Amino acid sequence: MLIAIVLYDRFTALDAIGPYEVLSRLPGASVTFAASEAGPITTDNGMLTVIAETALREVSEPDIILVPGGPGEVAARSGRSVLDWLKKADETSTWTTSVCTGSLILASAGLLDGRRATTHWLALETLVRLGAVPVRERIAFDGKMVTAAGVSAGIDMALALAAKVASAEVAQAIQLGIEYDPRPPFDSGSPERAPAVIVDALRARSRFAEQADR
């Protein structure tokens, strides 16, 4: 079972690495990190570099595709190499997935037209403009398309997918193995529960707010 995780400059690390920690533990799984060109790819904060060992054109017929989000998605969805590869790979994939604003890349490739999908809460309006049907859910399944909300939701999505690919027992064993038992110190992980002043501050400096004003 080949799992292809798509990388591009300025992707968000946990969007890719969180699901990797889950999916790489599936029985028979083989994971490849792939980009337009093989080589080092830097994350959104410039502090971490991940090696894409394979060029996308060298990855044929992956069983699972995973597209992380991050501010670099703007460039990724304005170019053709990633979008063209996604269209082709999706023809034969069993599952095509994304985390956070990775769904904007899938939508730009035309893969989410009329489909229910989620993304980071700040990017939901952009998802509408790209033809998807946005839902305010942590994980959204629509056929073989699976999208996750912001960043940390990728771990939840990967566990839900693991249950479908293997079994609930396998997914639970993976969850226990990585000791995924979140108990955050604050109940501010969603705009519905976070203090309004925090929500407003984050929204004000969001690049999506800037795009909406244009």
Give CA–CA dist 45/56, Å, rounded: 24
CB-facing half-sphere around the CA of 106: CA atoms within 13 A: 35
150: helix, strand or coil: coil
204 is catalytic: no
User: Any idea which residue has 């859910």 for tokens?
Assistant: 137
Which one is catalytic: 23, 100, 109, 145?
100
Give CA–CA dist 175/7, Å, rounded: 24
Give CA–CA dist 24/33, Å, rounded: 12
Question: Phi and psi dihedrals of 84, rounded to 5?
Answer: -65, -40
Annotated active-site positions, please?
Answer: 100
